[in-house]
Chains A and B, each alone.
Chain A
Amino acid sequence: MLLSNVAIVPNTRRTYLPDTVIDVERVRYIPVTGNPNTLYRDDTVAQEFYEAPLYQLGSGTPETFMLTSEPPLAWDVDITPNLPGTYEAVVLKSGAAFSPPTATLLNIPDDFAWVLIWGAMADLLGRESEATDRLRAAYCLRRYQDGLNLLLKTPWIMLAKVNNAATDMPSIAAMDRYAPEWDSTPTSFGPCIVIGGIDFLAAPTGSGIGATVLANAPVPSLDADYVQVSRSNWDVVLDLAQAYATFKMAGAEFQSALELEARAIQACSAENSRLKSMGSFSDILVQRGQAQDRNQERYNDARQKSQPSEGTK
């Protein structure tokens, strides 16, 4: 999400972030006068190699930023700003703290709430307590890890239009490289839709934007509501529901229900393949939402090895 109006203290290299920020993807320098400048991401080694004598540089317009690896989270700029102004950053935030009984939005896509639930259940059943159940804790942890992998591959956006014309969907990193300061002209850049992370995008202001997305699954609430599932897939959904329901039985009953779950997941995989086979370029379609991750791979690679990088596809 966007973190705006981070105050600049002139002639100061380091900017500390609130503890609700857990990562930073991009930083932009916006002085009170003059042009904004999007900062290239770097690290100390690169700055010392390529910007020597780094620590003797005078103040001016910052060009690069680097995240500190020690707490609290902060970024350093190569050249200390000589003007007051603000930074604007694209960041990951931890979200609101939960404080039951007040209901708080999870801030995770609805269809992935189960990942969070399995993770929490693994914690609850895995700790040393009266409730310890190693077998089910291990199962919950497996489901949680599967869910994370699935989340990273989710095709949350597939196609885009600006004013009803098909457009490209570059990542923020790609736009910063190939169309520097694109967001200084918010009404006329592109036309394209710029992809951040899941559900986060930039689009030309004042334009009609169209996006083909993977919607939340329609879920019924009233008795007479129709369940949105085809006749051929209902058994699969029922298998999944039954597997969920038997979790609380634990022991052998739960173990035997895992066969049902495996069967259902296999059937989902077949259905997924069937849907993919309906398009010649389905493989590209389902990867477009991950553009920012691929283009920032130098920084993301250490966090997640399982994603294919652009150069290895």
Chain B
Amino acid sequence: MTAYSWLTFLTARQQLASRLADTGNVFWTDTECGIYVCQALRMFNVLTFTWKQDFVFNSSTLWNSLATLTNSPRIRTLTDTYCYTLMEYMLLEPPTGGTWSGTSQFTINDFSTALRRNAANIKLQPDVAF
């Protein structure tokens, strides 16, 4: 799905770094800026319902999940490691994903327990038959 071709990812990250007065990527690394841009794009989509898309598939089974069907535009790809990395950035800890190398304020078990508890809470909401 390509609708716009005027702003590259590289430029977008640089513009964010510039907004943060950190064009040298001293306080916010280039990778980190990329993650924030992607998160902002996702947030923008759920707030505006922008990316409506037609999806065609052959139903070979009665029950289907758009989260797993091949080529589904709603396929789920993000893992807990992605969340750990983002949370590590936001808490000024080394962004090492699922392996902890940060301060003694947290452990990776704290992160995974907090994620698991909230994932279960989200799924208890009505209409969320994940």
Contact = CB atoms under 8 A, between A and B. Distances in A.
Is B truly associated with A? yes
A92 B53 CA distance: 26
B57 A241 contact: no
Nearest to B124: A22
Given A199-B67, A223-B9, A123 B1 contact: no
B52 A229 contact: no
A17 interface: no
A110 B76 contact: yes
B16 A208 contact: no
Given A241-B39, A304-B125, A103 B81 contact: yes
Contacts, number: 376
Contacts of A94: 119-120, 123
A152 B125 contact: yes
A207 interface: yes
Interface in B45-82: 45-67, 73-82
A131 B106 contact: yes
Tier of interface size on chain B: 35 or more
B128 interface: yes
Tier of interface size on chain A: 35 or more
Contacts of B65: 1, 199-200
Given A1-B130, A117-B83, A227-B41, A123 B56 contact: no
A197 B124 CA distance: 12
B26 interface: no
A196 interface: yes
A101 B127 contact: no
Contacts of B116: 97-98
A218 interface: yes
A151 B125 contact: yes
A112 interface: yes
Contact of A1 (B49, B119, B129): B129
B111 A215 contact: no
Centre residue among A22, A131, A227 by max chain B CB count within 10 A: A227
Centre residue among B52, B63, B124 by max chain A CB count within 10 A: B63
Contact of A224 (B8, B20, B55, B62): B8
Given A103-B80, A213-B73, 19 more contacts: A98-B112, A99-B112, A106-B80, A113-B83, A116-B118, A200-B65, A203-B64, A207-B58, A210-B55, A210-B56, A214-B52, A215-B73, A216-B45, A217-B44, A227-B9, A227-B41, A228-B1, A242-B20, A245-B33
For the complex of A and B, the 3 pairs showing the least CB-CB separation, nearest first, are A197-B129, A100-B98, A119-B118
Interface of B: 1-10, 12, 15-16, 19-20, 28, 32-33, 36-67, 73-84, 86-87, 89-92, 97-99, 104-106, 108, 110-112, 114-130
